[in-house]
Structure 1
Amino acid sequence: MKLMKITALSLVMGAVALAGCGGGSAGSSVVTGSRATILLTDSPREDYGHVWATIYHVELTPQGGGAPVVVFDNSAGVLIDLRTLRDASGARYSFLSSASVPAGTYTGVSVTVGSTMQLIKTGQTTGTSLTVDASVARDANGNAVIPVTFRSPKTISSTATNVCIDFDLARFVISGSKILPSVVEGDGAGLSDPARHEKDDYHGTISGLAGTAPNYTFTLTMGSGQTVAVTTTAATALYGAALTEGARVEVEGTLDTTAQTLVATKLEVRGTGSSSDDRKTPRAAGTASALNASAGTFTLTIKRAGGFTVSGTTVNVVTNASTVFRGDKGATLAAADFYTALATTPNVGVEGTYDATTNTLTATKARAFDPTKDGPGKVGEAHSFRDAAERGGGGDAINDHGWGNDSLRGGRGGSDD
């Protein structure tokens, strides 16, 4: 059996050095008590341009036995291209979850991922689906459970602790149609630098709303029950209705790992009450090419995706009379104007239904956007909190929202719409 990559350390159970990634404190008035904050990163590997994996569950292992402590759980899973979490400057980070945990000592963490991973070699446009090796334990759903033992037990007390999970791509072992992942603790290099964090989006319900425009704080409770403190600033773009207690929202932003707060760059208010998980809706974002306005089609080179299995670097997009078209700041566009905008600035986000046979996403919503045009919008479009404060109110209701950015967590991602 010939292995494409094997080293003495190419084991699923990687020893973990917590130094550099165990710090952090609950600096926000919203976040109190012992917490674990989970961030994802990866180590370099040049032979593959994309490595798509789905994260379902993360839990800490208490010292001395007892039930594992869940810090992340999502039945829809979070789809992520692990290869994006490393660039020429080093590690990049994706905030996965933050959860209150019992104060105590923990000896390890386990990460549950999908039973397959989609790998696309550098320079190629189509990928190969590899099955996680049978030596890796499975949960009741057939997903792979990867345990990591900390080098030394980790005590979590009255403040938040950052836990960096490093998908060590350089030590993944590939043999035929099988893949043996290696997961270790990242060293946390650059963790305190906001520029090293991916801008992602998070869905949930608001509680504990406090402050005045533009500086609000609240707790976001996500569908899986995990919570994170959120702060807004004058630069936060607001979509949808007024911000109220109990509102359902989608927040885009990056985690301040010192204050343990999600700093919102965009906030979409979607109403109140429960709703289905938007993360299950097929969506993708990236750059458009091969535009055909007459046929209503284009090719999307994927930067972020969710809700479907990515089979290559591109997806075919079809728009029709039922598609809702948007532009910068949520402005409604006619189809012709949408394609004109896309020809000028090819950044686009779409969601709809996906046909795996033809690799086609039929868009119910499509948005062309210019990343340089963040900020206040017109009445009836998205606007910033600064704009809302100057007009003396919360926010004008609009008919659609900020789904068009390239920030898709489950749908997830990170861009500057």
Structure 2
Amino acid sequence: MKGAPLASLRPPTSLYLTSGPPSGGRGRCCCCAGRASRTAQVRQQTAAVSLLGACPGGAWLLVELRAGRRSQRRVCSTAETADILFLVDESWSIGESNFQLIKEFVYTIIRTFENVVVGKAGVRLSVVLYGDKPRVSIDLTDYITIEEVLVAVRDLLYRGGNAKTGNALSFLADTMVSAGTLREDAAKVVVLITGGKSSDPVDEPAETLKNRGVTVFAVGIRNADRNELRKIASDPIEEHMLYAKDFGQLGILSRKVSRRLCFTASEPPQPAKQMANVEKIVGPRDLTISEQSYSSLRLSWTPATGKVTSYRILLDSLSAAGQVSAEDQRQVVLDANKSSALVTDLKPNTKYFFTVMAVYSDVLGEPATIKGRTTSIPTVTHFRVVEEGLFSLKVAWTPPLGKLEGYKVYLPTNRPGSTSEKILARDGLLSCP
């Protein structure tokens, strides 16, 4: 039987080595691919092999080939302490079939860490998927073996959405880095994988992430915006930005990413960039409620720091179950020099949720919130008869504090047990005939 070139073998292909390789480093193999039995020449260093048994011609060894070529999987053995996060685009521009190829890409890269310690004493791995909103599908602390992580990658589900890469980067900066989720003594790495242009700005959140000591790899596929990838990737750009013309090329790209990622994960952590002394924006704070009445509440707070241009008060009424009522939402805008406001035209005996925010030239400050309840409608006091006539009575009373629209007076009628109503202006007098 004549020898067949390796390129003619279909993956995966099992080769059975029937004789030990001579000194030249080559061995003769019998290939079982489908129904046909063919032979091929393979090099001694083709792949790791497993002993199957003995035969007259020598030991039988099993060799696996992929795509008819030699397969030698790279592994990373130098990484010691690292937090690695894969930020994966799952938007509509990716599609479910291409999402499966991205999962295989991530799986291949993660598998290269099979020879290092995984968990709190070594390398921790996370996958965050994002469309309109980011979601942590694999957290850094979820698994302690590489096998568990790989199974979880296989189980990732596609949801779709719009590619809001800027929002996803901000999520990592705020909830993973600033919140202390990443370890101080670990190399911190983010691998962004996207197949399109972001629907929101990426410049500022990417810069924030890098300033906090995170090394960012930007992997773009097909319709990804290369200028956008350059803004996201760490310096030097040529080392941290990678691009594939099509999803089918991710297999080739994985080797390059794995090698560079291993190198970065093996280095000491990057220091956070020292920021210039900028006044920290705080407040408003110490929000309190006073001067409670049936129709108004006064809010007071300690002013916010920084160049405040105005304050914005948002108020929502709450149901008995504590739910926000969409039909009763209001907004009040105040000058920057105010630190107190009387909120009027409220409903009696109603619970409200107040939010006070400082407004700056280009951003809203952190909100301060509080709940408060208006009082019940007060009753009049000192209700009395001040003048008696033959056919009439004049009554008077002391009005309650607060803004009044008027009074409702109930008068007896000639029918026993029944009354009639009269509405009076707030300064009116009533004569009862």
User: What TM-score do you get using the length of structure 2 for normalisation?
Assistant: 0.20
Larger relative contact order, structure 1 or 2 (CA cutoff 8 Å, min sep 6):
1
Query: Which structure's CA Rg is the greater one?
Result: 2
Greater helix proportion:
2
- Give the strand-richer structure, 1 or 2: 1
